[in-house]
Amino acid sequence: MFLEREHAQRLGELAAVKGISKSGIVAAAIASFLSPEGADRREAAIARRLDKLQSQGERLARDQTILIETLALFIRLYLSVSTPIAEAHQEAARAQGKARFEQFITQLGRDLQRGASFAQALQEPIIPTESQFFTSGTQAPGASTP
């Protein structure tokens, strides 16, 4: 039997670590490979991995559908409530739109670079602390002034 140099070296290292002969390791590997139970275990492991990949793919498809529907709804709402701009103000509106879009792209780039997700932040539960709940100048009910 012929083994490539790298495989023979790795086999020798494993035999030394495990305290087993090289031939014992090779015999066990061949028995495992030829065993019908070994094939069943490998098939079951592959099936579990495929199921996990399918689940992830379905979740991605669902998230993508939600994203597309959200964007489409926003665009429809924006277009239905936006008032037309008078001819005299259109150039200023274009300049302001360009500046806002550049600001949007800059913010998006920053968020993507640091791994921040605005959508995930929206999904996280928000429980304000007492200091966040009451604005300055307003006290909590029953609180006394020093």
The model's pLDDT over 99-127, given as tens digits with 9 standing for 90+, comes to: 999 998 998 888 888 887 777 776 666 66
116 domain-assigned? yes
pLDDT, averaged across the chain: 83
- Residue 16 covered by a domain: no
Residue 119 lies in a domain: yes
Q: What is the reported pLDDT for 146?
A: 45
Assess if residue 134 is contained within a domain.
no
Does the residue 144 lie in any domain? no
pLDDT value at residue 2: 80
pLDDT over 70 (residue 134): no
Tell me the C-alpha distance between 65 and 123, whole Å.
17
**How many alpha carbons lie under 13 Å from residue 1 in its C-beta half-sphere?**
8
Q: Is residue 105 part of a domain?
A: yes
Give the number of domains in the chain.
Answer: 1
In sign, the C-alpha dihedral spanning 54, 60, 63, 65 is negative
User: Which residues are within 8 A (CB) of 139 and not within 5 positions of it... i.e. 6 or more apart?
Assistant: 145
| Region 135-141 average pLDDT | 53
Q: Which pLDDT value is given to residue 55?
A: 96
> Which has the higher per-residue pLDDT, 35 or 143?
35
Contact 25, 18 (CB under 8 A): yes
pTM over 0.85: no
User: Which percentage of the chain shows pLDDT scores above 90?
Assistant: 38
Q: Could you tell me if residue 33 is inside a domain?
A: no
Question: In the prediction, which pLDDT does 78 show?
Answer: 86
Q: What is the pLDDT of residue 118?
A: 75
The predicted-structure confidence for 1-41, as pLDDT tens digits, reads as follows 788 999 899 989 999 999 999 999 999 888 877 877 877 88
Distance CA 66, CA 123 (A): 13
Residue 120 lies in a domain: yes
- Domain residues for 120? 91-124
Residue with tokens 């993508």: 64
